[in-house]
């Protein structure tokens, strides 16, 4: 199997060229054992019906020596417990908000109805309030995540800590000869970055950048300068770019090769071998690292660009001679486009406050497009940025997975051949994808640089069920949302500050 050595994306558009780029600096603090999120435990299980309570809450977390950092999390002080759902289960959620402001619970990567179950901006849970939702899992094994999505406060709430893993498991993936033991050889890693201010605190407004906040300190699973004790020859790392803006260009010391087995929404058809890999915002990539050439006492370092992120401390392990199958999955869904649906064109444009989709900023109660459920359509996604080399925009769709067809008429990258929900588009490039939904509702599609979506680089479509073509959905408008935030913060509307509001104001637009 050949090894890929490059990151594929256009180097001129890397975030290192941003005007507001903040380089990573490895903090001069003792190494800490990697925090591995605990698995979320159900309240009860009744056959295929599984019940959970998830609470968004404030807390304090020991991240650096000295004062604890004020943080937010799901059922914990920072980030959250890992939800593990099985294909075929019906999930019943009691969602509770113990934060000082309205939030939502968005299941990024789950194929579930919208806008309520999906948890976008139209499914608010108010302070000291709750919401109950139910949905069925009907999708392939994948690594997904839960994060807040209240417009235009998504970026700030994720920055405060509201992000957690959500696995989907199925029988096929469970039978593969790959690591499966959570926390031992199957490890979730959410990659984020933060700027620590006085007394080890975060200050979103002080750090705000309309092109996306970046901080100098890497944080993995809420751990600064982490290490992990390797006790098995092979590790499965489930990588998630959970940062607001930062891209991660990863490689190991010694250019240790690794094998990617899955992307956002499914296993890959075949394993792909790399010694360098790049993640853009919201992407997930599952890799298997084989430490067979190392011995007890050795260390291996994971880097982003030239900055060390974490250390793997090698211990004694039993030899593992299992071979990753050449065919990881029998077939990736690949429906034929409906002949009566023309190619849907989407244009992502602008930087800073000028970001838009199709020449418009997001309006919460506007439907920008309608498409029928259970029909496949080709979407053509273009990134028109050309100023100073432009920037890479990660395009994300709620409620479905899509199949990448081409990049500028050429083949997709070799690790984009499974199902995805986020695909990054280089400046001047157009990426074609096959899109289909098997659930109805209202769903957003947007750039997943979080400050860009808050700043209006977002649109929404209605997926129409032919059995219920006249379905109506309650869509909140921006003014109602702004009044809610102003009331919660006890300030008049003209004194309310939310990062995304600035992008509308500076473009002379009313949110």
pLDDT tens by residue, 3-16: 999 999 999 999 99
d(CA 473, CA 456): 21
pLDDT of 153 reads 95
Q: Is residue 88 part of a domain?
A: yes
Q: Is residue 349 part of a domain?
A: yes
Between the CA of residue 44 and those of 40, 110, 112, 196, 206, what are the distances in Å?
Answer: 12, 22, 21, 40, 43
pLDDT of 510 reads 72
More confident residue, 218 or 19: 218
Instruction: Tell which residue, 315, 316, 325, has the closest CA to residue 269.
Output: 325
The domain of 157 spans: 32-175
Chain Cα centroid distance, residue 418: 16
pLDDT tens track for 33-50: 999 999 999 999 999 999
Which residues neighbour 381 within 8 Å (Cβ) at sequence distance 6 or greater?
346, 348, 395, 423, 425, 430, 431, 432, 433
Identify the weakest region by mean pLDDT among 11-25, 80-94, 382-396, 478-492: 382-396
The reply to whether 156 and 218 lie within a common domain is: no
Tell me the average pLDDT of the chain: 96
Q: Domain boundary residue among 259, 293, 314?
A: 314
d(CA 226, CA 6): 26
pLDDT of 501 reads 85
pLDDT of 387 reads 67
pLDDT of 61 reads 98
Strand partners, 403: 419, 434
The reply to whether 207 and 309 lie within a common domain is: yes
The reply to whether 36 and 170 lie within a common domain is: yes
Which residues neighbour 410 within 8 Å (Cβ) at sequence distance 6 or greater?
none
In the chain, % of residues over pLDDT 90:
95
The reply to whether 146 and 200 lie within a common domain is: no
pLDDT band at 509 (very low <50, low <70, confident <90, very high): confident
pLDDT of 388 reads 66
Say whether pLDDT at 386 is over 80.
Answer: no
Q: Is residue 502 part of a domain?
A: no
Residue carrying the six token digits 């008429």: 409
Q: Is residue 481 part of a domain?
A: no
Q: Domain boundary residue among 109, 141, 175?
A: 175
Q: What is the mean pLDDT of residues 202-225?
A: 97
pLDDT tens track for 56-73: 999 999 999 999 999 999
pLDDT tens track for 335-356: 999 999 999 999 999 999 999 9
Q: Is residue 324 part of a domain?
A: no
The reply to whether 10 and 48 lie within a common domain is: no
pLDDT tens track for 395-448: 999 999 999 999 999 999 999 999 999 999 999 999 999 999 999 999 999 999
Q: What is the mean pLDDT of residues 384-403?
A: 91
pLDDT tens track for 160-192: 999 999 999 999 999 999 999 999 999 999 999
pLDDT band at 507 (very low <50, low <70, confident <90, very high): confident
Q: What is the mean pLDDT of residues 214-226?
A: 98
Instruction: Count the neighbouring beta carbons within 10 Å of the beta carbon of residue 126.
Output: 14
Contact 302, 289 (CB under 8 A): no
The reply to whether 350 and 225 lie within a common domain is: no
Contact 265, 324 (CB under 8 A): no
The reply to whether 94 and 222 lie within a common domain is: no
The reply to whether 171 and 188 lie within a common domain is: no
The reply to whether 270 and 375 lie within a common domain is: no
The reply to whether 106 and 227 lie within a common domain is: no
The reply to whether 157 and 46 lie within a common domain is: yes
Contact 119, 101 (CB under 8 A): no
pLDDT of 411 reads 97
Q: Domain boundary residue among 151, 175, 199?
A: 175
In the chain, what is the straight-line distance between the N-terminal and C-terminal CA atoms, in Å? Answer: 52
Phi-psi category of 2—alpha, beta or left, where left has phi over 0 and alpha has psi -120 to 50? beta
Q: Is residue 156 part of a domain?
A: yes
Say whether pLDDT at 283 is over 90.
Answer: yes
Q: Is residue 508 part of a domain?
A: no
**Local structure of 239: helix, strand or coil:** strand
pLDDT tens track for 254-277: 999 999 999 999 999 999 999 999
pLDDT band at 51 (very low <50, low <70, confident <90, very high): very high
Q: What is the mean pLDDT of residues 94-100?
A: 98
Q: Looking at the 3D structure of the chain, how many domains does it have? A: 3
The reply to whether 275 and 408 lie within a common domain is: no
| Angle value at C-alpha 425, between 423 and 426, nearest 5 degrees | 150
d(CA 199, CA 67): 6
Q: Is residue 392 part of a domain?
A: yes
CATH code: domain of residue 214: 2.60.40.420
């Amino acid at each position: 199997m050949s090894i890929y050595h490059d990151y594929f994306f256009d180097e001129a558009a890397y975030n290192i060229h941003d005007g507001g780029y903040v380089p990573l600096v490895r903090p001069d603090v003792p190494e800490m054992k990697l925090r591995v999120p605990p698995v979320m435990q159900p309240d009860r299980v009744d056959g295929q019906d599984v019940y959970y309570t998830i609470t968004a809450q404030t807390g304090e977390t020991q991240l650096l020596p000295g004062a604890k950092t004020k943080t937010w999390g799901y059922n914990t002080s920072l980030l959250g417990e890992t939800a593990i759902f099985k294909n075929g289960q019906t999930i019943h959620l009691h969602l509770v908000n113990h934060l000082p402001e309205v939030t939502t619970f968005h299941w990024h990567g789950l194929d579930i109805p919208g806008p309520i179950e999906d948890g976008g901006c139209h499914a608010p849970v108010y302070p000291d309030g709750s919401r109950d939702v139910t949905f069925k899992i009907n999708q392939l094994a994948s690594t997904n995540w839960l994060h807040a999505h209240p417009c235009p406060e998504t970026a700030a709430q994720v920055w405060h800590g509201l992000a957690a893993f959500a696995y989907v498991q199925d029988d096929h993936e469970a039978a593969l000869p790959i690591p499966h033991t959570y926390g031992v050889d199957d490890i979730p890693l959410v990659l984020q970055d933060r700027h620590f201010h006085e007394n080890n605190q975060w200050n979103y407004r002080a750090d705000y950048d309309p092109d996306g906040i970046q901080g100098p300190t890497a944080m993995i699973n809420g751990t600064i300068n982490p290490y992990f004790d390797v006790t098995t020859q092979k590790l499965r790392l489930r990588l998630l770019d959970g940062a607001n803006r930062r891209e991660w260009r990863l490689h190991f010391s010694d250019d240790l090769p690794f094998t990617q087995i899955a992307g956002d929404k499914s296993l890959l058809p075949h394993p792909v071998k790399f010694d360098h890999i790049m993640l853009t915002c919201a992407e997930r990539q599952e890799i298997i690292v084989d430490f067979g050439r190392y011995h007890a006492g050795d260390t291996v370092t994971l880097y982003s660009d030239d900055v060390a992120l974490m250390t793997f401390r090698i211990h004694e392990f039993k030899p593992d001679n299992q071979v990753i199958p050449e065919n990881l999955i029998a077939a990736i869904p690949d429906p034929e486009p409906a002949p009566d649906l023309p190619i849907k064109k989407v244009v992502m444009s602008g930087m800073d406050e000028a970001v838009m989709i199709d020449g418009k900023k997001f309006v919460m109660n506007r439907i920008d497009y309608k498409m029928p459920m259970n029909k496949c359509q080709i979407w053509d996604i273009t990134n028109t940025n050309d100023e100073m080399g432009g920037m890479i925009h990660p395009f994300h769709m709620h409620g479905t997975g899509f199949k990448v067809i081409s990049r500028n008429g050429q083949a997709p990258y070799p690790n984009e051949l499974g199902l995805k929900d986020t695909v990054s588009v280089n400046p001047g490039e157009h990426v074609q994808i096959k899109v289909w939904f098997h659930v109805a509702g209202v769903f957003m599609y947007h750039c997943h640089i979080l400050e860009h979506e808050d700043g209006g680089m977002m649109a929404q479509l209605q997926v129409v069920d032919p059995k219920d073509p006249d379905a109506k959905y309650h869509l909140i408008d921006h003014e109602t949302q702004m009044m809610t935030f102003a009331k919660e913060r006890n300030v008049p509307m003209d004194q309310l500050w939310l990062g995304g509001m600035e992008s509308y104001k500076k473009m002379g637009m009313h949110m």
